[in-house]
Amino acid sequence: MTSVPLLEAKGLTKRFGTLLANDAVDLVVQPGEIHALLGENGAGKSTLVKMLYGSLEPTAGEIIWKGKKVHLKDPAEARKLGIGMVFQHFSLFDSMTVVENIALALPKGQKMSDLAKRIEQVSNEYGLPLKANNLVADLSVGERQRIEIVRCLLQDPQLIIMDEPTSVLTPQEAELLFKTLLRLASEGRSILYISHRLEEVQRICDTATILRHGKLVAQCTPSQETASSLASLMVGSSVKSVEREKADLSNAPVRLQLEHLDLPASGPFAIELKDICLSLKGGEVVAIAGVAGNGQSELFDAISGERATLADAVVIDGQKVGNKSITIRRKLGAAFVPEERLSHAVVPSLRLSENVLLTRHGSDVPSMTRKGMFIKRTKTGKVGQRIAENFDIRKGEPDPNAGSLSGGNLQKFVVGREIDRSPTILIVSQPTWGVDAGAAALIRQALIDLARKGTAVLVISQDLDEIFEIADRIAVINKGSLSEAKPVEEMTLERVGLLMGGVHGDAPDDVDLSIPAKATPEDGGSNAA
Amino acid sequence: MEFADALLVSIVTASTPLLLAAIGELVVERSGVLNLGVEGMMIMGAVCAFATSLTTGNPYLGILAGIAGGAVMALLFAFLTLGLVANQYATGLALSLLGLGFSGMIGEHYVGTPGVKLPTLDIPVLSDIPVIGDAIFNQDILFYMTIALVFGVSWFLFKSRTGLILRSVGENHNSAHALGYNVNRVRLYAVLFGGVCSGLSGSYLSLVYTNLWIENMTAGRGWIALALVVFASWLPWRTIAGAYLFGAVLILQFHAQGAGWEVPSQLLSALPYLATIVALVFISRNRTVARVNTPSCLGQSFVPDR
């Protein structure tokens, strides 16, 4: 029996100006399957699904739904057909309640009170409990995702598109999600699952379509491939793995110390930092894991000096600098790489050489300026050039505007600019966010190499694979509190996951760490946490 | 009429135009658009209403003309900020200046001519209630409309589905777009509603409050209305409190001047504005309420990528 595919895309193409985001992509999704859409950041996965969901108009190509050609003029049209989507960056409204958020995505004519009942019923049925009248702003990232999923389910979709659903979840939350997905597939619904995590794709997906640079490169069955064969299909070449020797810290000096660091919340939806203690020695990489929005940016701001604390809460090389400016901290040898590269780390409309000066105007006064008043352009130009060479930055012209670089190249510049200073302390937030695998490997290697030369490196990241790859010690931030930093050998993915969910201190023996891992799809989702 | 009656009537009269303009701007801002052109829209409404009622002798036609005056200005604002994605702040300021100048030109012939007064609609029995009877139940149609508008807007924003969509657009236009709502169309309607309210507010000024046309007669009331929206933390009910507080201080300082207080009259004239600033400071202290209700996309243009 040959069944009609649920969804078929033929030659879908999307062009943004000169950029060809999708180039004649074909895709076939069968009823009841979990279909993975694999690819690196920027491979065009999100563009493809946005076309399938009607929020982008294809430049060329056609979409066939249950054997019939359709034109999706907007997402409402797609929803009417039975296509639902769970967004990567949630499309939720913070200052509204759960029921209001869900009502917005449903056709009109429902009473709010009825809807609230249905939400609680459906969400419990699928093991994704929700309270209909809670304010979204008060919910955790995992709970927000539940809203998206329940919102999607209430439309009784036959195809559910999920854009990187696990990138914001703790390992345990992800496990719960997999159970829900398998249950949905068993009900005959199809799931188009976007991810770049090979391990989970191999575990739960029936088929996979792989994109690279906007083009379709392969269609395969993930369970018959190896992780490395999938990876090379995704990346196009094999990625160099990061090399790491164990650090010898016996005589290493303490470079950075956070002592009972408190920072009040900056607003009603912001996080308060509570009694954070951490000490970093020169030569080691310490990583801070955590689900986004648990105080990472607040912690970065406090260490970098964007927000002042008590003087003795932040100690750099023995100097109390908690109430001192960023420039003073930089002069003591600290360097900072913030998370948002375009809005925070560089001025997009300035040239690379000018951006070099932005973080080094205080520490490199004699070499880069004349008497601190005039810029030595040849010197800053040379430094820019040196960074570009050392970090393999691909650029069109010798000294382009920072905004014209691609995300990966710009990130290499931002990290390279600070490493080029040979800092004694380096604080990096999300070092490889949205960066392709090649650039990510280069940046991670550079961070390790820098540490082994005697620098104390603090990495704040949400990417657990990255953390386990580069860190000597791992701490977890949750609701503004930081767990004790433990050597990487003593940490497991599960344990970090538990800490991310809020079990502090040593995981006691009576906490059965294997609960989420053992759970099988057959249990259904009724006993959710 | 006793003194208390008269005082109340004058306070209501002073507050109504502020309330009208503020409730309109509140809806505009809830959709994520900051319209700094309220002052210009009000004065265009004032001059159109005055001129039309004088020529036709019918104040109700004047009101319609006032609405049209405000709406045309709002359409211009919407075309520039939503259609051409011009900066909302600059466009609003420009429209305020344009309205003041243009209305002066239209109204040149009417300076000093007494206008047609909007009749009051006496509600039997209720208007005989002592003290408040005259102030609340012996008013013109615009006053009753204003009160109905506050009820209506409050219900619309928080109980109706369309209101929910409007708030979602102001809260997070990217999400609203992703869900399939036409952000700029929702904003167009909101801006038009704001223009209509500003036009009504202007009509009230020239047909009821002064019953004369004077150049620049809005005298900064559009700006006060903008401040009232913040004062109200974007909640319709609170605009009533804000408008009547301001109106009360305005009227009381007139009486203080009349009673010959030993305070410079300039200082007394500044009192309503000072009171507004003080109230704003106190309101802003409760950041939680303000943050929850502040439309997150206020003042940001939206360009869909398709």
> B81: which 2 tokens?
């900020």
CATH number at residue B87: 1.10.3470
Contacts of B291 in chain A (CB under 8 A): 95, 267-269
What is the homologous superfamily of the domain A7-235 according to CATH?
P-loop containing nucleotide triphosphate hydrolases (3.40.50.300)
Mean pLDDT of B193-214: 94
pLDDT band at B124 (very low <50, low <70, confident <90, very high): confident
Residue of B nearest to A15 (CA): B306
Q: How far apart are CA A337 and CA A344, in angstroms?
A: 9
Total number of domains constituting chain B: 1
> Using one digit for the tens of pLDDT, what is the confidence trace for B154-203?
999 999 999 999 999 999 998 898 888 999 999 999 999 999 999 999 99
Residue A402 tokens, joined: 């920072």
Specify the pairing of strand A83-86 against strand A159-163. Answer: parallel
Distance of CA A199 to the CA centre of its chain: 17
Query: What is the dotted CATH code of the domain comprising A252-325+425-431+453-529?
Result: 3.40.50.300
Q: What is the pLDDT of residues A88-146, one digit of tens each?
A: 666 889 889 999 999 998 888 788 889 999 999 988 888 888 888 888 887 877 788 88
* Residue A405 banded pLDDT, cuts 50, 70, 90: confident
* B296 in reach of chain A (CB within 8 A): yes
Is B236 part of a structural domain of the chain? yes
> Quick one: tokens of B277?
């600033």
Probe site for chain A from B168, B186, B306 (most A CB atoms < 10 A): B168
Question: Which residues in B lie closer than 8 A to residue A73 (C-beta atoms)?
Answer: none
Q: Which structure tokens are listed for B46?
A: 């004032």
Whole-number Å distance between alpha carbons of A193 and A195 = 6
ipTM, two decimals: 0.83
Give the Cα separation of A202 and A195 in Å (integer): 11
Q: Token pair 């953390």 is at which residue?
A: A467
Q: Is the pLDDT of residue A522 over 60?
A: no
Domain with CATH 3.40.50.300 in chain A: 7-235, 252-325+425-431+453-529
Contact assessment for residue A168 and residue A141, using Cβ atoms and an 8 Å cutoff: yes
Please enumerate in sequence order all residues whose Cβ is within 8 A of that of B41, keeping only pairs 6 or more positions apart, or say none: B35, B69, B70, B73, B74, B77, B95, B99, B194, B195, B198, B199, B202, B222
Of A163-167, A440-444, B1-5, B56-60, the least confident: B1-5
Residues spanned by the domain of B18: 3-113+141-293
Q: Which residue in the set B168, B288, B296 is minimally distant from A104, CB to CB?
A: B168
Does B120 map to a domain?
Answer: no
User: What one-character-per-residue DSSP string does B132-194 give?
Assistant: HHHHHHEEEHHHHHHHHHHHHHHHHHHHSHHHHHHHHHHH-HHHHHHTT--HHHHHHHHHHHH
Structural domain contains residue B306:
no
Nearest to A177 by CA among A211, A210, A153: A153
pLDDT category at A506 given cuts 50, 70, 90 is very low
Predicted TM-score (pTM) of this structure: 0.74
Q: Please, what is the end-to-end C-alpha distance for chain B in angstroms?
A: 64
d(CA A380, CA A285): 29
CB contact (8 A) between residue B172 and residue A93: yes
Using a CB-CB cut-off of 8 Å, the residues of chain B touching A108 are 161
**Residue B280 identity:** L
- What is the pLDDT at residue B161? 93
Distance CA B168, CA A151 (A): 16
Cα-Cα-Cα-Cα dihedral of A295, A297, A303, A309, to 10°?
A: -60
A350-361 confidence digits (pLDDT tens): 999 999 999 988
Edge-to-edge strand ranges of the sheet holding A273-281: A273-281, A254-263, A314-316, A319-320
Q: In what order do the strands lie in the sheet with A215-220?
A: A83-86, A159-163, A190-195, A34-38, A207-212, A215-220
If one counts every other C-beta atom within 10 angstroms of the C-beta of residue A313, the result is 24
A452 — pLDDT class (breaks 50, 70, 90): very high
pLDDT digit string, tens, across residues B221-239: 999 999 899 888 899 998 9
Strands (DSSP E) contained in A305-463 are 314-316, 319-320, 334-337, 369-370, 374-375, 425-429, 456-460
Is residue B196 in a domain?
A: yes
Give the helix/strand (H/E) hosting B95: helix B88-106
Structure tokens at A521: 């799809």
